[in-house]
Structure 1
Amino acid sequence: MLVTTLVLVLTVLVLYVLYVGRFMRWHSMNTQGNAYFGKTLQERREIKNKIIKHAPFVSPFVRFLALAAYNPEKMPKTTYKNVTGPMITSSNDSFKAGSEYKPTEDDIIVATQMRCGTTWMQQIVFELLHKGEGDLTDTGYKHLNSASAWIECSQHTGVPLADSPKLGDAQKRVLKTHFPTSLCPYNEKAKYIYVARHPVSCYASVHDFVSSIAGPFAPPPHQFIDWFCSDGFFWTSWPHHVNGWWDWSQKRDNVTFVHFEELKANPENVVRQIASFLNVKITDEELEKILVKIDFAYMREREEYFEMVPPSVNTVMSKTHFFNGGKSNRHQEVQPHERTKINTFVSDYLSESDYPLNTYYPDVVKQEPTIEATEELRPTA
């Protein structure tokens, strides 16, 4: 009886592993590279629905792998020249290929630390080049990731870098990157747009996003914040990233620096600035069309045309949207002790930097006790 039971259990386990392996192969074939984003909306929905159908049965295996490979000190990652990236969308080879890419005068490169407005700026540039008539439907590019390559990850997701299309009458490529300046390929004839966001807002958005895509592989909260406050964070730390790009923007005319909060507060003004920087002339009527199509509500309603990564077992089981909030004051929702830790880290890191942290994010700057406050804290006789 015992032998029979063991044989039955082993048979079920073998069949389950074969099932998971078959699903994983199918998933890889339909989501790697541009295999997902290059499909029609209906085809993408069919793929996502199939993943949703199988997710409850595959997720126990994913959780088992996470438990078996659990290392509280490390996220699944790739590392190239001391810059890390998520293993799910990058590799040493893709980072190497991205860093060795040779930009041309036809390239407009949108750069950010992750979750700081990358997709938003890509959409702005995409619509500027099409004068507000950009088409991401099945009759057009199908998806933003098929219209705009990700420099260091195009081997794993979206249109290959070599095939990124030239857009609009100007025939420009829109490329995105999270590379710090130490790895970002540079050409004085290309154009670079960098977007920065409040570091604590960045942290909150990254936490939601990584928890969604990494699922059980994501670090717990107390380790997540330590990881964020280090140069071992994906694409290096927020202050390291911002400092490098600010330096480029101050020394190079073909690099411009935008703040997420400015874009949120006055999108028309920022769009006009970007248009001028790119030498794109638009009419008032075209500007109105662009403003409609870069509005957060518009993009969230059409999230299927903008999502950054293909669906997976983890993402379909998560309640987090790709466009989760888009708030300029997201940092205020973070716990005080987390805000303090991040603010102190950023303030100390940038203490000798030229980046005007006190101008753009004064609440981040570490406040030294005033003489009055010091007097109040002294014990009375």
Structure 2
Amino acid sequence: MSSSEDFFLEYQGLLLPRETHCAESLNFAQEFTFKDDDVVAVTYPKSGTTWMQEILPLVLNGGDLTPVHTVVNWDRVPWLEETRLAKIVDKLTSPRALVTHFPYSFMPPSFHTSKAKVINVIRNPKDVLVSSYYFHQMANFLEDPGSFDEFMDKFLEGRVLFGKWTDHVKSWRCAELGDRIFFITYEEMAQDLPTSIRRISDFLCCSLSEDVIHKIAKHCSFESMKANTMSNFSLVPKEYMDSDKSPFLRKGVTGDWKNHFSSEQLVRFTSVINKELEEENFSLPWSLD
């Protein structure tokens, strides 16, 4: 019988998957040297990470599709905290794009002394919960999530990957980074991807034409990414991710939580999340109701 310790590594109070994290990778992350022109996309798990791994290289290189057709997404925009970074960091060319699930306080010293820019993507936590639930079902390196109700309890208590959603969101929203940080929601990107890409482009001081903006948006549609073997995680062996249980890129929509929450679960979920946010007068860009 497997226990949680078989799947998770505890790091400063956070649960991380052992399959992709170890003491050495976490030490490498803390000693990582950020450059001034680095860009890091910050997300809580299942909040648009893969989307940003597709968008960022295209924005930074003027819409050239070559990298997203020839390099797997976890190598073209690697995770700061995962074991893979140490193996491919020397192959990254500037401006480098990275992603991280770290809360703000976990970022390495060099990040704070650099001018590296941050794009923080936030997603409705109810949809995050649903996406995480299906991910746990198909990811064999994670423990079985149990019932949806049981997994909701774990999520609300922070007994999931990278801790409480509220703690993560607040840590970055309250970060004093001035014009180094840009906030956008998954919902904004889903509603109008070209406009979202234009805003990201402007933040990164990339001068892109409208034709290039729409070219990037077309390539970064859910349908296009789902068909791209460099982006859909289909190259990951089935022993790690079983797409027969649930595809990695499952729906890519907003509001899917309405198909999963009972009325009682909705009241319980929103009550806990709202209480934790209200404790620090923190407001969301949309209503949880």
Output the TM-score relative to the length of structure 2: 0.89
One-letter identity of the residue aligned with 2:150: Q
1:363 matched to 2:288? The reply is yes
CA contact (8 A) 1:198 1:331 kept: no
Structure 1 SS opposite 2:10: strand
Shift of 1:99: 3.0
Aligned to 1:110: 41
Structure 1 residues 334 and 75: alpha-carbon distance in aligned structure 2, compared to 1, 3 A threshold: farther
Are 1:179 and 2:102 counterparts?
Answer: yes
> What are the superposed Cα offsets for residues 124-178 of structure 1, whole Å, 9 maximum, x if unpaired?
11111122222146xx64312221221100x2x4673632511xxxx31010111
Matched with 2:251 is 325
Q: Residues 214, 345 of structure 1: CA spacing in aligned structure 2 closer, same or farther, 3 A cutoff? A: farther
Indicate if the aligned counterparts of 2:47 and 2:121 stay in contact, CA closer than 8 A.
Answer: yes
1:121 partnered with 2:52: yes
CA contact (8 A) 2:28 2:86 kept: no
> Could you tell me how far apart the structure 1 residues matched to 2:173 and 2:282 are?
6
Structure 1 equivalent of residue 2 of structure 2:
69
Residue 142 in structure 1 maps to residue 142 in structure 2 = no
Write the distance in 2 (CA, Å) between the matches of 1:216 and 1:326.
Answer: 21
Q: Following TM superposition, where does structure 1 have runs of at least 4 consecutive aligned residues deviating by more than 6 angstroms?
A: none
Q: Deviations over 1:197-256 (max 9, x none)?
A: 0001000001101111137831312432221112332112111111111112x6521011
- Structure 2 residue corresponding to 1:346, chosen from 263, 273, 279: 273
Aligned to 2:179: 253
Relative contact order, higher structure (CA 8 A, sep 6+) = 2
Of structures 1 and 2, the larger Rg is shown by 1
Q: Secondary structure at the match of 2:105?
A: coil
**1:149 and 1:159 in contact (8 A); partners too:** no
In the alignment, which of 183, 188, 196 is matched to residue 270 of structure 1?
A: 196
Residues 149, 164 of structure 1: 8 Å contact kept: no
Matched with 1:233 is: 160
Normalised TM-score (structure 1): 0.69
Give the superposed CA RMSD. Answer: 2.3
Q: Does the alignment pair 1:190 with 2:116? A: yes
Contact between 1:194 and 1:257, CA under 8 Å: does it hold in 2?
Answer: yes
Structure 1, unaligned runs of 5 or more:
1-67, 365-381
**Structure 2 CA distance for partners of 1:292 and 1:158, relative to 1, 3 Å:** farther
**Aligned-residue identity in percent:** 23
Within the alignment, does 1:97 sit opposite 2:28 as a pair? yes
- Contact preservation (8 Å) 1:147, 1:164: no
1:106 is displaced (CA, Å) by: 2.6
Shift of 1:322: 1.3
What letter corresponds to residue 278 of structure 2 in structure 1?
S
Q: What is the CA–CA distance in structure 2 between the aligned matches of 1:338 and 1:287, rounded to whole Å? A: 40
Aligned residues: 284
- Give the superposition deviation at 1:272: 1.0
